[in-house]
Amino acid sequence: MKILSPVGNEESLKAAIFNGADEIYLGINSFNARNNVNCFNLDNLKQAVDFAHIFNIKVNLAINILFSNDEIQDALNLIIDCFNLGVDSFIIQDLGLISLVYKYYPQIEIHASTQMGIHNLEGVNFLKQFNIKRVVLSRETPLNEVKRIKKACNIEIEYFVHGALCVSFSGNCYLSSYLFNASGNRGKCKQLCRLPYSFEFDGKSLKKGYLLSAKDFNMIEKLAELKNAGVDVLKIEGRARRPYYVGETTKQYYNALNNLKVNENNLKLAFNREFTEGYLNGNGNIISPYNNHTGIFIGKITKVNYGKKFNEIYFESKEKLYPKSTFKIFNKTKEKNTITAFDLKQINTNTYYLTTTQKLNVNDSLHLIIDYNKETELLNIAKKREIILNIEAIENKPIKAKFKIKDKNYEVVGPICEKAKNSPITQIELQKNFYKSDLFNAKLNVTKLDDIFMPKQQLNEFRRKVFDEIYNIIVKSYERNIQKIKITNNYKIKKFEDFQIIENLNEKLTHKNIIYSPSEYNENEILKLKQLCEKENKVLYLDTPNFMLEKDIKLLENIINNTKVNIIANNYHALSFNTNIIIGAGLNVYNNYTASVYNKPVICAESNISTKTNYPFMTLRHCPFKNLLKANCYNCPYKKGFYYKMENGKILKLKRKKLSTCTFYLTD
């Protein structure tokens, strides 16, 4: 399995490469899902790509948002620019853009972004028509489904193993869009899941806290299971994270894959909101009491001397701590302060002292979130690419350096070697000279060395010439020169607009088209409603879940086959059903190019993401009742009337769809 590390800047790039990454992924300052962080531009992207390729690291560029009709030409042009300068593959969400790249540039490697919400074999099968090389499965995909996909498909599987876990199903979070007109599918997520909420029923609060804040992934103990399931690439989340996080997580996963010692505390120190294995085996125990980095608990405050300007803090800890480190102070799970201890002193074996202007209390907990010494040490790690140079230095002939790159032989010729009058150049002196490189570790094999002399300046120039040539050969081997094309699309979107959504059979039917969105899928009720619609000269459409595993798909397929009901497809798996299909809001149709791929009527084909169809703001695969109330399936408390309430009073109703398992939704 390969390690795929996140890169947000030059320092993170080096941290990833020097600590064991096989591949990196990054974004560019337009058209990526991390719109709120510093990304690369075309100028420094070239430098990053070249640097990665020197170390034989694959570069994946995320172009993983949805595009309007006015933007898609620019997006395609950007892909061509980046492909020409050496980017190896592109992580794409927009189906219209995928179809264009496949049609006009089949030589470009496409990876299906996790934002596409692919989580089952049927979704992967749909993407086969576009020659997708790799699919980044949604974070909710369990191990059994990974095995099912790998057994049936010759496709690379990329799986999230570490980092932030979105509480909402990939690509179907519209809460930021609904409340702030800032779509997560446009790279503008407001992180509303990290806010405090109250979980309520009938006006009574049952739980308060960061109730939608997910823990962080940590699969380092599950790598054997992932390998056996067929995972090819281990993805570490975190393009917005600090370089230390990138380097440390990469290092620990490299150690795990190579049977070296893993330091779990260092993973916690890099970043954690507590850890979880997520949905790997279906448990979904993911909600954290924290909304930000908690670091490592190191001890409690034992004594405070309050002063006029500074307060003296004493605490007990068995950890070895250093000045300039940063701590968070908690009262139980409530974060109080963050302090950097410039004057940290060790009083005795387990007692430390620091001063701060902040008011802290005895029994407050200290969590180490930045270890200055560890960060400095890790970020100072540097590596070089090994290259074997065959040196030939014959009297009265040019000095030569021969080497091999990608199974091709190359030769660089230098100045004429003069006969030595006194001390000739030795092999040790040559090796010492060629050691002077920031990028290359040259292993010299001196095939012929006469008693020759060469001025130091000439030898230095020859060394630089050799390394420059090696650099250019490597970099240019990745460059291409394909031409841009002008695209057009005259496809007219067939909008599906005149409809009514109902949730039970008792609702009055007022529109021509009826969308039935039940809490549970009962064949008899669907058939009964279908007959009623036919009697009243109306057309029934069954709203299908956007998340379904193998058993769910079989259950729903039987219902559809037996009732002959039309459906609303909210994920790619629903396109496999043999019935009349309307493209639902969950498939995120954002432009004519995507609509033309389906060539079916579309809901929510607008200039921006909308929830006008009552499509859920969030899709939750964890059970709120298990996570928040410690309930179980045998005594499920779910009924209509539960909701999450924001601090501003905004209510998000909780709804459920049930097949073999439950999926929950937050709606208006």
Give 571-628 pLDDT, tens digit per residue: 999 999 999 999 999 999 999 999 999 999 999 754 443 444 467 899 999 999 999 9
2-165+214-276 to CATH, choices 1.10.340.70, 1.20.58.110, 1.20.810.10, 3.20.20.380: 3.20.20.380
Domain topology for 296-379 = Elongation Factor Tu (Ef-tu); domain 3 (2.40.30)
**Percent of the chain scoring above 90 in pLDDT:** 90
- Determine the average pLDDT of the residues in 288-316: 96
Residue 282 pLDDT: 79
Question: What is the dihedral angle through the alpha carbons of 307, 311, 314, 318, rounded to the nearest 10 degrees?
Answer: -170
Residue 31 pLDDT: 79
Residue 333 pLDDT: 87
pLDDT of 57 > 80? The answer is yes
pLDDT of 4 > 90? The answer is yes
- Determine the average pLDDT of the residues in 485-494: 91
pLDDT in tens, 633-650: 998 999 999 999 999 999
Domain limits, the chain = 2-165+214-276, 296-379, 387-476, 499-624+648-667
Residue 609 pLDDT: 39
Distance CA 298, CA 368 (A): 7
Q: Which residue has the tokens 């949604």?
A: 138
Q: Across the chain, what does the average pLDDT equal?
A: 94
CB 167 within 8 A of CB 48: no
Residue 610 pLDDT: 42
pLDDT in tens, 408-446: 999 999 999 999 998 899 999 999 999 999 999 999 999
- pTM comes to 0.95
Close Cβ partners of 362 (under 8 Å, ≥ 6 residues apart): 300, 301, 302, 303, 304
Residue 118 pLDDT: 98
Q: What are phi and psi of 246, to 5 degrees?
A: -60, -50
For residue 525, which of 563, 493, 487, 557 has the smallest C-alpha distance? Answer: 563
**Percent of the chain scoring above 70 in pLDDT:** 97
Residue 258 pLDDT: 98
Residue 506 pLDDT: 92
- Determine the average pLDDT of the residues in 359-375: 96
Residue 606 pLDDT: 44
Residue 35 pLDDT: 60
Residue 611 pLDDT: 41
- Determine the average pLDDT of the residues in 542-570: 97
Residue 190 pLDDT: 83
Distance CA 453, CA 422 (A): 9
Residue 614 pLDDT: 62
DSSP code, position 425: P
